[in-house]
């Protein structure tokens, strides 16, 4: 059972409760599992809708907001959206919201749904009591670490499955991009060179009809450690895959001369491409020829 808690405002959708309640969705799901509460769908999404400040400009949103709460049930998902008037996030207000959302879910329960409504209510009450008796920040840290461990284990498993696969490389490459967990005022600090170099390599790979196994977009993620880079490479869709590159000295990156920055970025792209080539058994000879040719063109005057 997956539970998600999603905020929405006019022209904005996403985000959940702030710390130390960020991972409450997982705590609730684990609590239901502990009490063997099984819902007839895979996911419950709790929507928290905030009012718009401007009724004139956001007429449609306000009309939708005034009709809340809203309930939707599909084959594998239930969504209960409730209005939020008080943005304070403390244990009492948060559980008031959760109780309102689950009250809506339980109210719409079908006769064929094989779970105990009262047990759901009791478990939420029990959880609130437990959380009132513990250090919420300590709980937050513990939950964050558990979720991180599970996420990394899932990604490592996917990388191992790719490495063990005998899938034929038959998909023509369409895109290469370099991403990073290093943020500089919300922007990728390796632009514009990362985009330029990726495009140069991509152009040559497309000319020689370079092929990938079951995806067309090859992404490279950079961070200061392997684990940190790995964390943001969860593969949600089959049309892309990630390679990993490590850059430990990012704090001194901005101090580098422009030519040295170019060298750092090109080497990171190369590292990520070879990481992917190793995992997915890509044509390493063709890849090496393209990388070497591109490298010569970029650094020919150095």
Question: What digits encode the pLDDT tens for the residues 106-146?
Answer: 999 999 999 999 999 999 999 999 999 999 999 999 999 99
Which whole-number Å values give the CA distances from 231 to 46, 147, 149, 243, 298, in the listed order? 25, 11, 9, 12, 31
Distance CA 220, CA 188 (A): 13
- 112 and 191 part of one domain: no
Do residues 52 and 10 make contact, with C-beta atoms less than 8 angstroms apart? Answer: yes
Total count of residues recorded for the chain: 302
- 89 and 183 part of one domain: no
- 284 and 222 part of one domain: yes
For residue 183, what are its two tokens? 């943020």
189 falls within a domain: yes
Q: What is the pLDDT of residue 14?
A: 80
Q: What is the pLDDT of residue 292?
A: 97
286 falls within a domain: yes
Give me the domain span that covers residue 259.
Answer: 171-298
Distance CA 110, CA 129 (A): 29
Which H or E run includes 47? strand 43-49
- 105 and 203 part of one domain: no
Which H or E run includes 153? helix 136-164
193 falls within a domain: yes
- 128 and 185 part of one domain: no
Q: What is the pLDDT of residue 55?
A: 55
- 121 and 177 part of one domain: no
- 6 and 124 part of one domain: yes
Domains held by the chain: number? 2
- 179 and 245 part of one domain: yes
184 falls within a domain: yes
164 falls within a domain: no
Which whole-number Å values give the CA distances from 39 to 106, 252, 263, in the listed order? 11, 51, 54
Among residues 81, 106, 134, the one where a domain terminates is 134
- 33 and 86 part of one domain: yes
108 falls within a domain: yes
11 falls within a domain: yes
- 264 and 176 part of one domain: yes
Where the chain has pLDDT below 50, the residues are none
229 falls within a domain: yes
């Amino acid at each position: 059972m997956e539970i998600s808690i999603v905020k929405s405002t006019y022209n904005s959708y996403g985000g959940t409760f702030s710390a130390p309640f960020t991972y409450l969705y997982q705590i609730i799901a684990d609590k239901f599992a502990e009490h063997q509460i099984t819902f007839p769908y895979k996911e419950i999404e709790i929507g928290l809708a905030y009012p718009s400040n401007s009724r004139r400009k956001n007429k449609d949103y306000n009309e939708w907001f005034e009709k809340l709460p809203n309930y939707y049930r599909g084959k594998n998902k239930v969504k209960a959206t409730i209005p939020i008037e008080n943005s304070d996030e403390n244990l009492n207000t948060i559980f008031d919201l959760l109780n309102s959302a689950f009250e809506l879910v339980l109210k719409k329960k079908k006769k064929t749904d094989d779970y105990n409504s009262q047990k759901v209510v009791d478990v939420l009450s029990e959880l609130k009591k437990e959380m009132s008796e513990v250090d919420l920040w300590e709980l937050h840290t513990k939950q964050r670490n558990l979720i991180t461990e599970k996420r990394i284990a899932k990604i490592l498993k996917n990388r191992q499955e790719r490495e063990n696969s005998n899938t034929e490389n038959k998909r023509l490459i369409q895109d290469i991009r370099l991403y990073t967990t290093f943020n500089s005022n919300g922007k990728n600090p390796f632009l514009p060179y990362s985009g330029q170099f990726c495009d140069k390599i991509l152009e040559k790979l497309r000319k020689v009809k370079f092929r990938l196994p079951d995806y067309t977009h090859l992404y490279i993620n950079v961070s200061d450690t392997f684990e940190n880079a790995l964390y943001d490479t969860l593969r949600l869709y089959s049309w892309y895959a990630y390679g990993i590159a490590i850059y430990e000295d990012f704090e001194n990156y901005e101090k580098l001369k422009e030519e040295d920055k170019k060298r750092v970025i090109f080497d990171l792209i190369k590292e990520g491409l070879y990481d992917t080539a190793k995992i997915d058994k890509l044509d390493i000879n063709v890849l090496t020829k393209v990388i070497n040719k591109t490298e010569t063109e970029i650094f020919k005057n150095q």
